[in-house]
Amino acid sequence: MFHAQIPFDRIPHQFKSGLLCRSSQSEKDGLKKADADPSVKAVMICGENGKFSAGADIRGFSSPKRHGVALSPIVSLIESSEKPVVAAIEGVALGGGLEVALGCHYRVAHAKARMGLPEVTIGLLPGAEGTQRLPRLIGVPAALDMITTGKHIPATEALKLGLVDEIVEENTIEAAIRLANKVIGQPLEPRRLSLKPVPKLPNMEAFLREALVKVKRQARGCLAPELCVQAVRAATERPFAEGVRRERELFGLLLSSGQAQALQYAFFAERAVRRWAAPGGASWSSAAPQPVRKAAVIGLGTMGRGIVTSLVKANIPVVALEQDLEYLNKGRKAVMLLLEREAMKMEGGAQTLDFHNPARLQFTVDFDLLCDVDLVIEAVFENMALKKEIFHKLSKICKPGALLCTNTSALNIDEIASATNRPQQVIGTHFFSPAHVMRLLEIIYGRHTSPTAIATAMQLAKALKKVGVVVGNCFGFVGNRMMFPYVQQAVFLLEEGSRPEAVDQVLEDFGFKIGPFRMSDLAGLDVGWRSRKEQGLTGPSLAAGTPARQRHGQRYSPLPDLLCEQGRFGQKTGKGWYQYERAGGRTATPDPWLHDFLSQYRDTHGIQSRFIDQEEILERCLFSLINEGFAILAEGIASGPEHLDVIYINGYGWPKHRGGPMFYASTVGLPRVLAKLQKYSEAHPDVPGLRPNAFLKKLVAVRSPPLKEWMSYLSHQSPKL
Ligand SMILES: CCCCCCCC(=O)CC(=O)SCCNC(=O)CCNC(=O)[C@H](O)C(C)(C)COP(=O)(O)OP(=O)(O)OC[C@H]1O[C@@H](n2cnc3c(N)ncnc32)[C@H](O)[C@@H]1OP(=O)(O)O
Ligand SMILES: NC(=O)C1=CN([C@@H]2O[C@H](COP(=O)(O)OP(=O)(O)OC[C@H]3O[C@@H](n4cnc5c(N)ncnc54)[C@H](O)[C@@H]3O)[C@@H](O)[C@H]2O)C=CC1
């Protein structure tokens, strides 16, 4: 028996999963030796440290020195061996790792192992013949599903699909050796996947056509899923060797598309933001979280019900509190409905949801029941006075160590904390709607927030399977602050001659899941209206004689206020920027009433309507958002551009294959972003959001360094960090 280990010479620090090395020379030599040695009757391939392989080192793909795909010859060599080769899969077999296993004649997996071809998620396709072998082994529908989604499947599912021959609860390597000994002398031809035909489907052509349509619709401009379908199609239409040539061609296309780079940047950015840093030098490496054994949520409206659902799913006992019995019953029904749906989705899986047990989920109107919780998340109306009243109460009732979190979307964390006797334990945990679905958790520290509180909130994000991003305190924090100028531009474009459907189309074509007007209709126009009234920008507190389209000397559009005054709150009222089939309807159709309203508005204010092209729509919306991003970086509200990008990808539907707004700016080129902002700012001098930020100008002046170097060009260490 010869035992080959996948070489692990490029293991990133603190990472125990093996990554394939570029040449894999030692493995190649070992296999050749085993084949030539008559005393070796069979070969077993396994990984190190309980992991088969997580595939190639992703950092290697962006390296200019990288040439071609070096793994295919090894996979072919394994497959063509005259002696049976058995893969012993423990931990993970992902990407190139699974492709190696597909080259083996037999596969044994540990029951806890996971397998997948995640290349699509980093903008690639399985480039070591995986798109050709997998359909031959498990059939086109299952292979397409794995290859186009990149999902990791558990060993039990792999066994059902026929991806592995055997699963074991205990020693995988011994089981693989046992199997290898058993099959010595048996013919290998039927086990060589490259020689097998792809199992036929009665309607293959129609199936592939439909798969392509579905994948394209979901991909929103991301190329990799579409090219994955094309590669699998090649497996169904061409002999193996030609299919491999096509796979290689498509792999090359993706590698040079720019999207792969953006997706790989996003992969590492998501991991980089875990290493948070805050004022006074506190950071992820020094601060330890407190355990959260029991939590409470106050307010069971849109956000609270999703937050409760998230906590229950993470197995954290919850007390859910409302202001009165009527709201409580409404909230309880909504939470139960969400949990029942979640339980249905989890049916058949290893985990179950225990939410009928009052020890796990309790509904109440009694604040005294919060006396023993470790953490409270407040999600009541966005009103400072109300929040302060609640936090004051909490600081009296909750035990001394309890963390007090607010889900405010924009309000000042320090002011909320000032109502308590423990400002060091007050922190913003900004969930995104729907809170049980969206992955982002923006974590906002105030002036007094302790490192332990930040570490605990980050730990909570992890427990909820969310991406926590730590940011500083300012109006709107990072995500909403960048969103304000974006939405503002969208509305200004309507004033100047565009229509909601035209603006949304451009941004949806760019890859956003939903354009700004459809988004406002979904979220409810009344939310922003209430906030503007509180800020004195509209409503009864607006000083008499204030010009309709100006506030504090800056351009202001009263259009959203006017819609709200007409009772047009969006989907909930059946009318907003669009019309809907009924109140609560979801299908947006352009509304002739709105078009007339816009023309009358322009006439009233003497605005000359003009045609606005797609380029201007895109640039004014995106570049104003990016410009705000530079301001946020310069003020030290976020530690780096990666934070802004992770926030936008996970909380605002920014297309991941464009890497986030700041990465996108770097691909467009900072000089171009600056020049365009200058141009638009000259045309609209009363719009501060278009005035190029000083940090952007500075970066251009120093010849636009790569994104990872930007922060080193900030002249001062920001007071926030
Ligand atoms: C021969 C060369 C050319 C061949 C070309 C043929 C085509 C290919 O071969 C194609 C490929 O394989 S592409 C790579 C496919 N594999 C993947 O996408 C796996 C990505 N990783 C994961 O899913 C999780 O990290 C995983 C499930 C593995 C582990 O999750 P955890 O939650 O336990 O850990 P993480 O926090 O995600 O990761 C720990 C550290 O490792 C870094 N890392 C993970 N996967 C990496 C990878 N594939 N390449 C480079 N670095 C990787 C990760 O960034 C993190 O680093 P630190 O933040 O510094 O700790
Ligand atoms: N709706 C959204 O998309 C997002 C909202 N947020 C923020 O989350 C918070 C909640 O927003 P929504 O859930 O949309 O509001 P909502 O209006 O849907 O729900 C608020 C709930 O709080 C309850 N409440 C009010 N006073 C209370 C009290 N004294 N004690 C207990 N419960 C009380 C209300 O009865 C209501 O059910 C706000 O601060 C908002 O800015 C944050 C992210 C997104």
Q: How many angstroms from the chain centroid is the CA of residue 331?
A: 28
Name the residue of 381, 387, 525 to mutate for ligand 2: max ligand atoms within 8 A of Cβ: 381
Ligand with smallest separation from the Cα of 248: 1
What is the structure's pLDDT at 482?
98
Q: Do 580 and 571 meet the contact criterion of CB atoms below 8 Å apart?
A: yes
pLDDT at 293 over 90: yes
How many residues does this entry show for the chain?
721
Q: Mean pLDDT across the chain, nearest whole number?
A: 93
Task: Judge if the beta carbon of residue 323 lies within 6 A of ligand 2.
Answer: yes
Q: How far is the CA of 299 from the centre of ligand 2 (A)?
A: 6
Asked whether the CA dihedral 118, 124, 127, 132 is positive or negative, the reply is: positive
Contacts for 357 with CB less than 8 Å, ≥ 6 apart: none
Task: Judge if the beta carbon of residue 103 lies within 6 A of ligand 2.
Answer: no
Rg (CA), the chain: 28
| 114 Rama class: left (phi>0) / alpha (psi -120 to 50) / beta | beta
Lowest-confidence pick of 2-11, 32-41, 231-240: 2-11
The single-letter DSSP state of residue 276 is -
Contacts for 532 with CB less than 8 Å, ≥ 6 apart: 538, 539, 560, 561
> If DSSP codes are grouped into helix, strand and coil, which group holds residue 399?
coil
Q: How far is the CA of 381 from the centre of ligand 2 (A)?
A: 4
Lowest-confidence pick of 2-16, 166-180, 543-557, 637-651: 2-16
Q: What is the pTM of this model?
A: 0.91
**715: which 2 tokens?**
């002249």
> If DSSP codes are grouped into helix, strand and coil, which group holds residue 444?
strand
- DSSP assignment of 205-268 equals HHHHHHHHHHHHHHHTT-HHHHHHHHHHHHHHHS-HHHHHHHHHHHHHHHHTSSHHHHHHHHHH
Q: Which of 618, 631, 636, 694 is nearest to 662 (CA)?
A: 631
Q: Residue written as tokens 């060797």?
A: 241
Tell me: the pLDDT tens digits for 484-530? 999 999 999 999 999 999 999 999 999 999 999 999 999 899 989 98
What is the structure's pLDDT at 13?
24
Q: Which of 215, 224, 214, 101 is nearest to 166 (CA)?
A: 101
What is the structure's pLDDT at 352?
79
What is the structure's pLDDT at 19?
45
pLDDT at 22 over 60: no
Task: Judge if the beta carbon of residue 298 lies within 6 A of ligand 2.
Answer: yes
What is the structure's pLDDT at 531?
86
**712: which 2 tokens?**
């080193």
Q: Residue written as tokens 């859910």?
A: 320
pLDDT at 67 over 50: no
Q: Which of 688, 675, 665 is nearest to 489 (CA)?
A: 688
Contacts for 555 with CB less than 8 Å, ≥ 6 apart: 492, 549, 684, 686, 687
What is the structure's pLDDT at 481?
97
Tell me: the pLDDT tens digits for 139-153? 999 999 999 999 999
Nearest CA to ligand 2 atom 16: 301
- Distance between CA atoms of residues 637 and 482, nearest Å: 12
pLDDT at 69 over 90: no
Q: Do 306 and 347 meet the contact criterion of CB atoms below 8 Å apart?
A: no
What is the structure's pLDDT at 222?
97
Name the residue of 338, 409, 483, 519 to mutate for ligand 2: max ligand atoms within 8 A of Cβ: 409
Give 15's pLDDT tier (boundaries 50, 70, 90).
Answer: very low
- Side chain identity, residue 34: A
Q: How far is the CA of 697 from the centre of ligand 2 (A)?
A: 40
Q: Which residues of 78-102 are buried (b: 16+ CB within 10 A; e: fewer)?
A: bbebebbbbbbbbbbbbbbbbbbbb
Lowest-confidence pick of 14-23, 103-112, 681-690: 14-23
Contacts for 63 with CB less than 8 Å, ≥ 6 apart: none
pLDDT at 315 over 90: yes
Give 61's pLDDT tier (boundaries 50, 70, 90).
Answer: confident
Q: Is the peptide bond before 434 cis (omega within 30 degrees of 0)?
A: yes
Consecutive H or E run containing 406: strand 403-406
Q: What is the torsion angle, in degrees rounded to the nearest 10, for the CA atoms of residue 160, residue 165, residue 166 and residue 172?
A: -130
- Distance between CA atoms of residues 102 and 244, nearest Å: 14
Indicate which residues carry an active-site annotation: 99, 119
- Distance between CA atoms of residues 361 and 311, nearest Å: 10
Ligand with smallest separation from the Cα of 440: 2
More confident residue, 416 or 66: 416
Task: Judge if the beta carbon of residue 601 lies within 6 A of ligand 1.
Answer: no
Lowest-confidence pick of 49-63, 81-95, 297-311, 609-623: 49-63
pLDDT at 12 over 50: no
CB neighbourhood size of 596 (10 A): 10
Q: Do 133 and 102 meet the contact criterion of CB atoms below 8 Å apart?
A: yes
Query: Can you list the domains of the chain with their CATH numbers?
Result: 2-257 (3.90.226.10), 288-475 (3.40.50.720), 498-604 (1.10.1040.10), 614-713 (1.10.1040.10)
Nearest CA to ligand 2 atom 23: 299
* 604-608 LR contacts (CB < 8 Å, sep 24+): 605/495, 605/548, 605/549, 607/495, 607/496
**437: which 2 tokens?**
């679905």
Distances in Å between the alpha carbon of 50 and those of 18, 562, 649? 9, 63, 33
- DSSP assignment of 16-79 equals -S--B-SS-HHHHHHHHHHHH-TT---EEEE-BTTB-B--B-GGGGG-TT--S--SHHHHHHHH
CB neighbourhood size of 611 (10 A): 9
- Distance between CA atoms of residues 300 and 363, nearest Å: 10
Ligand with smallest separation from the Cα of 534: 2
Contacts for 145 with CB less than 8 Å, ≥ 6 apart: 151
**596: which 2 tokens?**
């007339």
- DSSP H helices, 434-538, are 451-463, 479-496, 500-510, 516-523, 525-534
Q: Please compute the mean of the pLDDT values over residues 231-247 and round it to a whole number.
A: 98
> If DSSP codes are grouped into helix, strand and coil, which group holds residue 418?
coil
Compute the half-sphere exposure of residue 688: CA atoms within 13 Å on the CB side of its CA. Answer: 10
Number of continuous H segments (helices) and E segments (strands) in the chain = 27, 18
Give 21's pLDDT tier (boundaries 50, 70, 90).
Answer: very low
Q: How far is the CA of 76 from the centre of ligand 1 (A)?
A: 23
What is the structure's pLDDT at 476?
95
Give 280's pLDDT tier (boundaries 50, 70, 90).
Answer: confident
What is the structure's pLDDT at 18?
45
What is the structure's pLDDT at 16?
31
pLDDT at 603 over 80: yes
Lowest-confidence pick of 212-216, 341-345, 350-354, 467-471: 350-354
Contacts for 599 with CB less than 8 Å, ≥ 6 apart: 609
Compute the half-sphere exposure of residue 337: CA atoms within 13 Å on the CB side of its CA. Answer: 8
- Distance between CA atoms of residues 84 and 78, nearest Å: 9
Give 23's pLDDT tier (boundaries 50, 70, 90).
Answer: very low
How would you class 572 by CB atoms within 10 Å of its CB: exposed for 0-12, middle for 13-18, buried for 19 or more? middle
pLDDT at 716 over 80: no
Give 350's pLDDT tier (boundaries 50, 70, 90).
Answer: low
Question: Per DSSP, what are the bridge partners of residue 589?
Answer: 579
How big is the CA angle at 572 (ends 570 and 574), to the nearest 5 degrees? Answer: 65
> If DSSP codes are grouped into helix, strand and coil, which group holds residue 402?
coil
- Distance between CA atoms of residues 713 and 4, nearest Å: 48
Q: How far is the CA of 56 from the centre of ligand 1 (A)?
A: 7
Lowest-confidence pick of 73-77, 575-579, 591-595, 622-626: 73-77
The single-letter DSSP state of residue 163 is S
Nearest CA to ligand 2 atom 30: 323
Give 379's pLDDT tier (boundaries 50, 70, 90).
Answer: very high
Task: Give the largest Cα separation in the chain, rounded.
Answer: 97
Helix axes 500-510, 479-496, angle to 10 degrees: 130
Contacts for 378 with CB less than 8 Å, ≥ 6 apart: 298, 299, 387, 390, 391, 394, 404, 405, 406, 407
- Side chain identity, residue 274: R
pLDDT at 354 over 90: no
Q: Please compute the mean of the pLDDT values over residues 195-210 and round it to a whole number.
A: 97
